[in-house]
Structure 1
Amino acid sequence: MPFTRGKNPALTAGSKLPKLNATSNENQEEGQQAKRSSSPPHGAPKKRTAFIDITNAHKVQISLPGRKKEAGKKQVKKTSASSESAKNRANLKQLSVSSDGTPDEKEKRDAQEGNEEELQKDVAAPVEELVAAAPPAVREVPAHLQKQQIPEEFDIDSENSEDCCYMCPEYAKDIFDYLKKREERFVLCNYMPQQPSLNPEMRAILIDWLVEVQENFELYHETLYLAVKMADHYLSKTPVHRELLQLVGSTTMLIASKFEERTPPCVDDFLYICDDAYKREDIISMEASILQGLSFDINIPIPYRFLRRYAKCVNAGMDTLTLARYYCEMSLMEMDLVSERGSLLASACLLMALVTKDLGGWRPILQFHSGYQTSDVAPVVRKLYEMLLAPPDDKLRAVRSKYSHKVFFEVSSLPLVNIDILEKAISQ
């Protein structure tokens, strides 16, 4: 019969713990000089050995076999060295005392220098032994592992050298280079032919509704983008009936909230915004299905993060960045832009915003940090322009309404840039 933790099987109910006798104090004093016994006293819980090693290692004298002679040699050597140092210090002391028959200043100075040299030798001897016993020099870091040297004109992180907690200036570029490489694992294609019950219009309506959810719950924009990405990846692998499309969207928003938010909404909140069309068990079951379908790898690079990084490269104002965000959020509903990588889409949105604000085109610093040339960004810019040029759909008003507020600088009401000016900027 197993015993419960913390109870002594030798004690019965109602029995008292035995009192410690007078010899226990003596044993405690002796225990400070000797190794503790592995067996606990009667009635006391057994302590972990790790705790004894950590807390009492300086009190325990451990004798290992085969090392007594070496220890004796070290002790003799240490004693002889200390005796020589004591003699040198005594000679210095005698020379410092003034009395009859004291040597002249030159002899005194020579004697002091000689004794100081002896003391230095005594100190340097163990250092030389340590240097001789030191391991060989570490090999040079391979070229592919060395930190990339950023030219001074392209350095945008040194100004945040004091903020190591949030801005990560020492490896900020390494982070975004890693995210850009990670995008290759999440490249999508037009998956609508694999969905017999869905079409691009249904997907656009779902995302328009998710924008309203993000705004009403006051969630981060990263949560919205991640939810859309997870929904697209899940729909590219699993056929879904149109009646369950809203369940997929609300569940991906729930997962993204858990990943991005400090205080994510609960399941009941999502049941409420779905007008109780689903049950609690439905959301939990769909959550498990989505996570398994994505192999629990939900850290998908999103264009919103790249957009903030690239806007910092050109010191874009908040109004210019918000305009680029508006273009980027509008692109979430466009099925033709699902296959574009987030970093490339962010570059195209920023270039359009810069041209619209008459702030120039694609600059060398943007090419350095994004890795894209103007020729790479141009096709995506043309797709964005065609999307914004199309007449607005009355069913898809969430994004335009959201960015028509003053807090977003009313960027959705700005006129679209002339196509000739845009073509001139992207053809350079």
Structure 2
Amino acid sequence: MSFNMSHETLYLAVKLVDHYLMKELCRKDKLQLLGSTAFLIAAKFEELFPPCVDDFLYVCEDMYQRHEMIAMEMSILKTLKFDINIPVAYHYLRRYALCLNVSMKTLTLSRFICEMTLQKYDYVHERASKLAAASFLLALYMKKLKNYAPLLEFYSGYTTFELHPLVRQLNILLTYHYCDRLKTVYTKYSHEKFFEVTKTPPLDIATLDEIFMY
């Protein structure tokens, strides 16, 4: 069984897990339950026809009981005080792409960069708008579209100077992706459906430093 859910649902589910773990401890054997339940909540919030509890239990290979998932759902919602309308980077990526009127390939590349961060703790505390802006700026640089940078500054509210440290960090993330054990995002964006954006090489340090100088 697979769920054809939106990117917004994915981003929100990850945010729910992050926010929950900032306030509560979770045993290792319950992490899959936490993640699945966060997806359940996010799907209810974002999807027109969300999967039901039994669907998620099936995906978990019946490791958990129905009452456990419902209890976890209540725990997440109470811990977050039912405040689950959390800003996610994906919303900002779509706005920047619309404002700058860039191609779908450039937007997809920025999505790939941003989605890679969902697997990394280093980016948990970054503001969604800033992470999206840095991902988009790096995509522009990689596509040799740095002339769009002033427009991104205008619509994002961040200067390129503010974004450059994060852009550098994201570029390193792409450069050393092969060292990562988590391959799902990279494999996903290697498909033709996503324009095979993984074939777009990250920038070398010298090129990035040269761009930063201007």
1:297 matched to 2:86? The reply is: no
* 1:375–1:427 contact (8 Å) kept in structure 2: no
Greater radius of gyration (CA): 1
The 3-state SS of whatever aligns with 1:332 is: helix
State the partner residue of 2:182.
Answer: 396
Change (3 A) 1:375 1:362: farther
- C-alpha contact (below 8 Å) 1:361/1:426 kept by paired residues: no
In structure 1, the residue matched to 2:70 is: 284
Instruction: Report the AA paired with residue 55 of structure 2.
Output: D
Cα contact 1:271–1:277 (8 A) shared by 2: yes
Q: Please, which of 124, 144, 154 is the counterpart of residue 358 of structure 1?
A: 144
**2:159 maps to what in 1?**
373
Unaligned runs of 5+ in 2: none
On the 8 A contact 1:351/1:361 being kept in 2, the answer is no
Cα deviation 1:286-325 (Å, max 9, x = unaligned): 0000000000000000000101111222211000100000
Find the counterpart in structure 1 of residue 59 from structure 2.
273
Match of 1:314 in 2: 100
Name which of 224, 241, 245 aligns with 2:27.
241
For 1:316 and 1:276, the matched residues in 2 are separated by 44
Give 1:391 shift. Answer: 4.5
TM-score in terms of structure 2 length: 0.95
Structure 2 CA distance for aligned equivalents of residues 329 and 263 of structure 1: 24
TM-score by length of 1: 0.49
For 1:191-206, list aligned pairs within 5 A. none
Q: Select the residue among 328, 334, 342 that pairs with 2:120.
A: 334
Deviation of the 1:411 alpha carbon = 0.8
Measured in 2, the distance between the counterparts of 1:314 and 1:418 equals 25
How far has the Cα of 1:360 moved from its partner? 1.5
- Distance between the aligned counterparts of 2:188 and 2:153, measured in 1? 31
Matched length: 214
Whether the aligned pair in 2 keeps the contact of 1:361 and 1:425 (CA below 8 Å) is no
Give the aligned partner of residue 343 of structure 1: 129
Which whole-Å CA distance do the structure 1 matches of 2:10 and 2:33 have between them? 15
Tell me the SS of whatever aligns to 2:10: helix
CA deviation profile, 1:100-123 (whole Å, cap 9, x unmatched) = xxxxxxxxxxxxxxxxxxxxxxxx
Deviating 4+ runs (over 6 angstroms): none
Deviations 1:334-381 (A, max 9, x none): 111111101000111111111111111563322222110011101111
Q: Say if 2:109 and 2:197, in contact at 8 Å, map to a contact too.
A: yes
Match of 1:99 in 2: none
Structure number with the bigger relative contact order (C-alpha 8 A, sep ≥ 6) is: 2
SS of 1:363's partner is: helix
Once the two structures are superposed, residues 227-282 of structure 1 have per-residue CA deviations (whole angstroms, 9 ceiling, x without a partner) of 00010000010011100011110000000000000000000110011111100000
How many angstroms apart in 1 are the aligned matches of 2:89 and 2:210? 25
1:326 to partner: Cα distance:
0.3
More helix by share: 2
Q: Which of 12, 18, 21 in structure 2 is aligned with 1:226?
A: 12
Is 1:252 aligned to residue 38 of structure 2? yes
Maintained 8 Å contact 1:227/1:256:
yes
Contact kept, 8 Å, 1:219 with 1:261, in 2: the verdict is yes
| Contact preservation (8 Å) 2:100, 2:148 | no
**What is residue 416 of structure 1 aligned with on the other side?**
202
After superposition, give the CA deviation of every residue in 1:149-190 in whole Å (9 maximum; x if it has no partner): xxxxxxxxxxxxxxxxxxxxxxxxxxxxxxxxxxxxxxxxxx
SS of the equivalent of 1:282 reads helix
Q: How far, CA to CA, are the matches of 2:13 and 2:199 in structure 1?
A: 27
Q: Percent identity?
A: 52
Q: Distance in 1 between matches of 2:15 and 2:173?
A: 19
Partner of 1:324: 110
Cα root mean square deviation, aligned: 1.5
- Name the CA distance, whole Å, in 2 between partners of 1:427 and 1:244: 48
Deviating more after overlay: 416-425 vs 220-229: 416-425
